[in-house]
């Protein structure tokens, strides 16, 4: 993996790539370069069959405190359009392998939206989630009003977006925004362990499950059920389906080929 300036990419355990946001002085504010690098890293990971799951994290103090305000303050509409920063977010949205956000400290604005682009969120006890754009004269722009509402419901999403108030890790857990709250010392390890478990599963089934769950956000129940059913049948074309079912009957551990 090439050297980046705003992120660091490692392989902490086999099958798992870890992307760390590394602009700690500005609480990992998401400048354009960071977004370009995240997308480049994901594109490379997508091509790498040895990597089956991704963990995205910042540091103890901040996952990311939002889009880089310094970069946006004087931009006009045309400049924002030309930057077309949201096409990069689309690449994250359509990434095929599971991504787990490990969040400690601030996940605000674009930072909260980035965490919500991920498929699961492991939060440290100090995590704080919010959409404070209202306090700087704008509004969420990368899914905050949509994904947050789907995750926590209308009432809490309205409160968070309209007041700019943050919610803490326990509130986020109760609201269904995060999977688990763990001590600060172990939030990255917990996310890596979860990623490692997913990385040990048959990869084509993992990909189709991710696609099918995400489909529920953009389809009717009927359309989603049909999508799911076809994906289910499709898995019977894989060697891993034969291996998984035969291994069960033969009472042995399956060996996945990803085919
Ligand atoms: C640029 C940022 C930043 C940001 C923090 N910093 N957030 N720089 N963009 N989003 C910088 C500060 O300027 C400061 O730099 C350093 O990080 C530390 O921040 P402090 O404010 O000194 O820390 P603290 O007092 O602990 O307060 C933390 C904080 C506060 C509550 C998170 O920094 C804050 O309110 N940040 C802005 C949060 C926000 O509004 N996010 C939404 C952005 S809009 P110096 O040089 O002074 O040390 C957005 C739109 C998304 O995200 C649209 C889709 C892409």
Pocket probe for ligand 1: among 24, 27, 145, the residue whose CB has the most ligand atoms within 8 Å is 27
CB-based burial, 175-198: b 16+ in 10 Å, e otherwise: bebbbebbeeeebbebbbebbbeb
pLDDT at residue 84 greater than cutoff 90: no
The candidate with the shortest Cα–Cα distance to 198, out of 5, 10, 13, 8, is: 13
- DSSP assignment of 81-111 equals HHHTHHHHHHHHHT-SS-EEEEE-SEEETHH
Separation of 195 CA from ligand 1 center, angstroms? 29
The answer, yes or no, to whether any atom of ligand 1 lies below 6 A from the CB of 175, is no
Give 14-66 pLDDT, tens digit per residue: 999 999 999 999 999 999 999 999 999 999 999 999 999 999 999 999 999 99
Q: Which residues pair with 124 in a beta bridge?
A: 182
Q: Does the annotation count 153 as an active-site position?
A: no
Pocket probe for ligand 1: among 25, 26, 92, 165, the residue whose CB has the most ligand atoms within 8 Å is 26
Give 111-169 pLDDT, tens digit per residue: 999 999 999 999 999 999 999 999 999 999 999 999 999 999 999 999 999 999 999 99
Question: Are 169 and 178 a contacting pair, CB within 8 Å?
Answer: yes
The reported pLDDT for the residue numbered 168 is 98
CA distance 211 to 218: 11
Query: Which class for 25: exposed (0-12), middle (13-18), buried (19 or more C-beta within 10 A)?
Result: exposed
pTM of the model: 0.97
Separation of 240 CA from ligand 1 center, angstroms? 47
Q: Per the residue annotation, which of 18, 65, 67, 172 is the catalytic one?
A: 67
Provide the phi-psi class of 253: left if phi over 0, else alpha when psi is between -120 and 50, else beta.
beta
Give 180-202 pLDDT, tens digit per residue: 999 999 999 999 999 999 999 99
The reported pLDDT for the residue numbered 101 is 98
- Characterize the bridge pairing of strands 16-21 and 7-13: antiparallel
Q: Does the annotation count 18 as an active-site position?
A: no
The reported pLDDT for the residue numbered 208 is 98
Per-residue confidence band for 214, with pLDDT thresholds at 50, 70 and 90: very high
Separation of 158 CA from ligand 1 center, angstroms? 22
Sign of the alpha-carbon torsion through 151, 94, 56, 33 = negative
Q: Does the annotation count 110 as an active-site position?
A: yes
Separation of 221 CA from ligand 1 center, angstroms? 40
pLDDT at residue 2 greater than cutoff 90: no
Nearest atom within ligand 1 for CA of residue 89: 55
Q: Write down the number of H helices and E strands in the chain.
A: 12, 10
The answer, yes or no, to whether any atom of ligand 1 lies below 6 A from the CB of 1, is no
The reported pLDDT for the residue numbered 61 is 98
Calculate the CA 20 to chain-centre distance. 13
The answer, yes or no, to whether any atom of ligand 1 lies below 6 A from the CB of 115, is no
Our CA dihedral for 76, 81, 85, 87, rounded to 10 degrees, sits at: 170
Q: Collapsing DSSP states into helix, strand and coil, what is residue 14? A: coil
The answer, yes or no, to whether any atom of ligand 1 lies below 6 A from the CB of 247, is no
| Mean pLDDT, rounded, for 98-113 | 98
């Amino acid at each position: 993996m090439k050297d980046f300036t705003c992120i660091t990419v490692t392989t902490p355990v086999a099958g798992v790539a870890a992307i760390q946001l590394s602009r700690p002085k500005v609480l990992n504010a998401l400048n354009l370069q960071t977004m370009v690098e995240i997308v480049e890293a994901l594109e490379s990971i997508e091509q790498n069959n040895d990597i089956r799951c991704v963990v995205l994290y910042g540091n103890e103090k901040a996952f990311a405190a939002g889009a880089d305000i310094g970069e946006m303050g004087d931009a006009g509409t045309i400049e924002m359009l030309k930057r077309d920063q949201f096409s990069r977010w689309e690449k994250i949205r359509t990434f095929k392998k599971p991504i787990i956000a490990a969040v400690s400290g601030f996940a605000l604005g674009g930072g909260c939206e980035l965490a919500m682009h991920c498929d699961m969120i492991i939060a440290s006890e100090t995590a704080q989630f919010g959409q404070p754009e209202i306090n700087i004269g704008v509004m969420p722009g990368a899914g905050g009003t949509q994904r947050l509402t789907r995750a926590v419901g209308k009432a809490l999403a309205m409160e968070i977006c309209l007041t700019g108030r943050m919610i803490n890790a326990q509130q986020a857990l109760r609201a269904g925004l995060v999977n688990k709250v763990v001590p600060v010392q172990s939030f990255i390890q917990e996310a890596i362990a979860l990623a490692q478990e997913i990385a040990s599963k048959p990869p084509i089934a993992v990909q189709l499950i991710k696609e099918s769950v995400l489909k529920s956000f953009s389809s009717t129940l009927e359309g989603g059920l049909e999508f799911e059913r076809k994906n289910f049948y499709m898995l019977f074309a894989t060697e891993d389906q034969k291996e998984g079912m035969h291994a069960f009957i033969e009472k042995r551990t399956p060996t996945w080929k990803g085919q």
